[in-house]
Every structure is written in structure tokens, then in C-alpha cells.
Amino acid sequence: MSEILIVGGGIGGLTAALCLAKQGHRVQVFEQASVISEAGAGLQLSPNATRVLFHLGLQTPLAEVAFAPQHTQIRHWRTGRLISSNLLGETVRARYGFPYLNVHRGDLIGVLERAVCSEPRIILHVGRRVDAVRQDTDVVSLVADDKSFDGEILIGADGIRSVVREVLFGPERATFTGNVAWRMLIPVEELPAGLLPPVAGLWWGPGRHFVHYFVRRGELVNCVCVVEQTGWTVESWTEPGNPDELRAAFAGWHPTIQNLVGAARPDSLFKWALFDRPPMPAWSRGRMSLLGDACHPTLPFMAQGAAMAIEDGAVLAACVAGGGDISANLDRYAHLRRSRTSGIQLGSRRNATIFHLSGVKAWLRNRAAGKAASSRLDGLFRYDAIRAADEG
């Protein structure tokens, strides 16, 4: 079995390590942070993602930290009128065999890290910044804190500013989308009792939208608030946000949204500019490839960014499972994944426009909402990353 080096200990890197170890490979993961954690934010894990996590035996620890919403709901920004609704809960589990879960990003990282640390085939290096990577015909290597490590395969799961991607394909310029996002976590106890139903809620408004859902067993509400804005382009998940600015951006919205933005606090509100990167025509060269945001960073308008990274890990492991030509196996992995991840990238980009329509266009959008949603969700949720390499 191969010795595999993974740069990046986030959701994609840790999932890939577990999938590869399950196939019998030895894996070393390098994470530059001294403690693996991610600033508080929520994730929506649809059945295509939970299928992989359950395959790794993580259903019990996931159940201990997640929240299972009963519906997705889209509402009108001012009146609160229900525009569209889709059943989740037991309906989704019965249809696809796996649940739809909301989870705090840090909680999912914790579940994955504990599983990685209990797997003898995986060595997790934390506080190890990777400064250089290279490959020859028979070996890949990296340098982390002046120490060299060798392997047979190297995977860049090092996020949107990937060192590995730049080595393979050169620097890439990102494009500002004209959208700025706020995120915040609100303890449920700070909100009026019964304010929110157990749903993943999306509110459409002119030039902006608002998302909310429960995480951490229902103890917290995760909010993502996106506004079209120019002149502010800080791309950082840890940039503090101004509660007064957020409240002004959603002035006049429904009382439910007023309650949520009214609970914003300076120490738990963050703001970042949304940048877009086009789908990449290639992910792999020789013994090196990319995974997750390193190759397909996705705008947060389909709630599939983490799911795509999780799927990547399963397909990658399946493609290298049988040994053989490493370069060909990595090319096959990229070929199997590019169409799906590109579709998610482009669909998320389209949603950035659709969510923010106004006037007659918004009225037409609202009338059409839900009519094609079931078929779109079916194709999204039924994808089986465990078997994709067998079927592709």
C-alpha cells in the first residue's frame, strides 16, 4: 500500500485520510494550525455527505453533535410568506438511506480528528506549516518546518489559498462577486421561545438573503447573511463584523429576521467578502493532486462546499485502492469529480443572482420555486461517492 501525504487538516483532508486508511494506505496529514479547529460556523450535510461519514463509522459521534432539520423553507423577506418547502427529517432518510444534518463546523472537525487519532495508519502533524512540495518520477516530498517527508502520493487539501495548487498550476487571481457575507452563532436561550421552527430557513430579498438553522443539538442558531456591496473586499473568515451595519442592511425585514440580527454581538459576528474562482480544467499532475477548496472553492449558495470535499475523499480513496499507475489513478479521480464539482460551483454562482432578484423577476422566480427543486435535489442527494469509481 502507498504512503500518502496530505497537506491540510480540514474537513476534506481529514475525511480523505480516513477513507484512504480504510483502504489500507498509510497517511500523514500536515496541518499548520497548532490546534485543529475552525472558527464557529455551521454546515449543512446532505445525504450525499452523510453517506460517506456513515461509511467511516461516524454516525454515533455525529448524532451526538448534530441537528436534524425537518424541512428546508424559503420565505419572503418582508412578509414571511412561505415560497417553497421541502421535507427533510425521516422523509429524506427513508428516500436516500442517510440523514440531512446541520452541524457546527468545529464539532465536525472534532469528530473527524478523534477518528483520525484513533486510526493507527494515520499520523497527524499539527503546527506543521508546509513550505515546499516537489515530485520526481518515483517520489513526492514536502518540507514542513525545515524537516523533509517523502511519500508516493501527495494531496493538496490546503484550502482556497493552496500552496500545492500554486506549485502545480501557478497563481490564480480571484474575482470579487460583489457580495459580502456575515456569519454569527446565537445561543437559542437568547432568542424568544419558539421564534424559529426546526428548519433550514432561507429568506429571499432584493439584493440580499438570510439563512438560519440550528446546530449543536439545537443549542445554537447559525446565521449567514449575504448582501450585495462594493468597496469592501477583505477575504477573511475571522474579520469582525459591525452589528449596527448588519442591522442597517436588514432594516425593514420580517420580525423574525429583526430578532436574529438584534441578537448580533461584536464578539460573535464576522464578515467576509465572497470571491469566485472558475472551475479548474485539471487537478492532477504526476503523483500530486488537489481536493476540496484547493481545486473547487464554492460560493455558499448551495450549501455543498463541505459535502464536495467529503465526496472527494471517498472517490480519491477508491481510485487509488487497487494500486497500479499512480498518475493514471489520480487523473481518473479528477475526471470523475470535475463535472460534479463544476456543476456545484456554477450552480452556486447562479444562485447568487437568483436569490437577490427584485420586482417582476422576483415574482416570476417565486412562482417557479419548488417546481424543479425535487429533481435537482434528487440528483444531488443520490450521488454515492463510495461507488462512484466503480460506476464511472
Nearest CA among 272, 113, 310, 300 for reference residue 210 = 300
Instruction: Say what the pLDDT of residue 173 is.
Output: 81
Question: Quick check: 319 and 330 in contact, CB under 8 A?
Answer: yes
pLDDT of res. 236? 64
Residue 333 above 60 pLDDT?
yes
Of residues 51, 44, 56, 54, the one with CA closest to residue 95: 51
Q: Quick one: 3-173+277-391 is in which CATH superfamily?
A: FAD/NAD(P)-binding domain (3.50.50.60)
**Order of strands, edge to edge, in the sheet holding 122-126?**
122-126, 26-31, 3-7, 153-156, 288-290
Is residue 69 very low, low, confident or very high in pLDDT (cuts 50, 70, 90)? very high
Q: So what's the pLDDT on residue 390?
A: 79
Q: What is the pLDDT of residue 176?
A: 87
The pLDDT tens digits for 200-259 are 999 999 999 999 999 999 999 999 999 998 876 666 667 888 999 999 999 999 999 999
Q: Kindly report which listed range (212-216, 329-333, 362-366, 382-386) carries the lowest average pLDDT score.
A: 362-366
User: Phi/psi at 57 (nearest 5 deg)?
Assistant: 80, 25
**pLDDT-wise least confident of 36-50, 157-171, 362-376:** 362-376
Give the residue numbers annotated as catalytic, written as ranges. 213
Residue 183 has a pLDDT of 94
Which residue type is seen at 374? S
Q: Where are the domains of the chain?
A: 3-173+277-391
User: What's the pLDDT at 40?
Assistant: 60
63-67, 101-105, 367-371: least confidently modelled range? 367-371
Q: What is the pLDDT of residues 134-169, one digit of tens each?
A: 999 899 999 998 899 999 999 999 998 899 999 999
- 97-145 pLDDT, tens digit per residue, is 999 999 999 999 999 999 999 999 999 999 999 999 999 989 999 999 8
For residue 146, the model assigns a pLDDT of 87
* Closest among 156, 159, 109 to 283, alpha carbons compared: 156
What is the mean pLDDT of the segment spanning 273-278?
87
Q: How confident is the model at residue 378 (pLDDT cuts 50, 70, 90)?
A: confident
Among 165, 203, 194, CA closest to 292: 165
6-20, 131-145, 225-239, 291-305: the lowest-pLDDT one: 225-239
For residue 31, pLDDT beyond 90: yes
The partner residues of 4 in beta bridges, in order of sequence, read 27, 153
Q: CA of 43: how far to CAs of 152, 212, 247, in Å?
A: 33, 11, 23
The answer to whether 385 touches 48, Cβ cutoff 8 Å, is yes
pLDDT for residue 233? 62
- What is the overall mean pLDDT for the chain? 92
What pLDDT does 37 receive? 60
Q: Can you give the pLDDT at residue 388?
A: 87
Residues 6+ apart with CB under 8 A from 259: 191, 192, 195
